[in-house]
């Protein structure tokens, strides 16, 4: 996407996540108490209220859980990007992320589609994780 995207704010719990994106590494929190993935970054686990959270690397692979094509921009700076796909992507490690699927026509994005992370540079050196069809999904459709 070459649109003028809003720069995501950085909450205190999300600093390690955003720092990792500077190196194009996808990470997520893991609760050592209940052994569950935590997403979005927080100060405590929403399941057990534990505070023993650590950061783990994600594979960058995922599967589209749900998707919607946006015919109108949700933000005026995205007007040049429409139509674009907003999707919930399930990572094999457990988290479900909301992101965009790029690298294919919006009508090609389907529930169950394998995707992999790709990165959009932000103005401050961070990168926004987006998803694109994985080579596996492209081979299946060929």
Write down the domain spans for the chain.
Answer: 12-141
The structure tokens 């990470």 sit at: 27
CA distance 120 to 93: 22
Comparison of pLDDT for 27 and 1, the residue scoring more: 27
Q: In the prediction, which pLDDT does 2 show?
A: 46
Residue 26: both structure tokens together: 């996808």
What percentage of the chain's residues is helix, strand, coil (to nearest 5)? 20, 35, 45
How buried is 28 (Cβ within 10 angstroms: 0-12 exposed, 13-18 middle, 19+ buried)?
Answer: buried
Write down the pTM of the prediction.
Answer: 0.89
Alpha-carbon Rg for the chain in angstroms: 16
pLDDT tens, position by position, 63-86? 999 999 999 988 888 888 899 999
Element at 136 (helix H, strand E): helix 135-141
Average pLDDT over residues 105-116: 97
**Per-residue model confidence (pLDDT) at position 130:** 97
Residue 141 contacts by C-beta under 8 Å, 6 or more apart in sequence?
108
Rounded alpha-carbon distances, angstroms, from residue 101 to 33, 52, 96? 33, 32, 14
């Amino acid at each position: 996407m070459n649109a003028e995207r809003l720069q995501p704010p950085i909450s205190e719990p999300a600093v390690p996540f955003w720092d990792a994106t500077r190196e194009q590494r996808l990470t997520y929190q893991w609760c050592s108490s209940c052994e569950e993935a935590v997403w979005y970054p927080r100060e405590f686990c929403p399941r057990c209220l534990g505070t023993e959270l650590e950061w783990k690397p994600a594979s960058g692979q995922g599967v589209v859980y749900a998707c919607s094509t946006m015919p109108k921009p949700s933000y005026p700076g995205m007007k040049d990007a429409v139509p674009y796909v907003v999707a919930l992507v399930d990572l094999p490690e457990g988290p479900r992320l909301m992101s965009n699927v790029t690298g294919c026509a919006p009508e090609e994005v389907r529930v169950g589609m394998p995707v992999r992370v790709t990165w959009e540079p932000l103005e401050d050196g961070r990168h926004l994780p987006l998803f694109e069809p994985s080579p596996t999904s492209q081979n299946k459709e060929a």
